[in-house]
Amino acid sequence: MDKLLADLNLHEETGRPRCDVSIVLAAYNEESCIQEELDKIRTAMEASSFSYEILVIDDGSTDATARIVQGNEDIELIRHRVNQGSGAARKTGTLAAAGEFVVWSDVDLTYPNQRIPDLVNHLLHTEADQVVGARDSERGTMKILRVPAKYFIRKLACFLTGTAIPDLNSGLRVFRRELALRYIDLLPKGFSCVTTITLAFLCNGLRIEYLPIRYAKRAGKSKFHPIKDTYRYITQLARMITYFEPLKIFLPISLLMLGLGAVSSAINLLRTGSLQEMDIIIMLVGFLVGSMGMIADLFVQYQRKLERMISSLSTPGHPKQDSSSGKYREF
* Distance separating alpha carbons of residues 223 and 138, to the nearest angstrom: 15
- By CB atoms closer than 10 A (0-12, 13-18, 19+), residue 170 is buried
What residue ranges do the domains of the chain occupy? 2-245, 247-313
Laid out side by side, the sheet with 19-27 consists of 208-213, 130-135, 173-176, 99-106, 19-27, 52-59, 75-80, 328-330
Q: What percent of the chain has pLDDT over 90?
A: 53
For domain 2-245, say whether CATH 2.60.40.1840 is its number. no
- Dump pLDDT digits (tens) for 199-220: 889 988 899 999 999 998 776 5
Among 90, 100, 18, which residue's Cα sits nearest to residue 55? 90
- Residue 277's identity, in one-letter code, is E
Statement: residue 285 has pLDDT above 50: yes
Apex CA 101: angle with CA 97 and CA 106, to 5°? 70
| Residue 37 DSSP code | H
Question: 86 or 249, which is more confident?
Answer: 86
pLDDT of res. 151:
81
pLDDT of res. 299:
82
pLDDT of res. 85:
92
At residue 35 the predicted structure's pLDDT band, cuts being 50, 70 and 90, is: very high
pTM summary value: 0.76
Question: 297 or 97, which is more confident?
Answer: 97
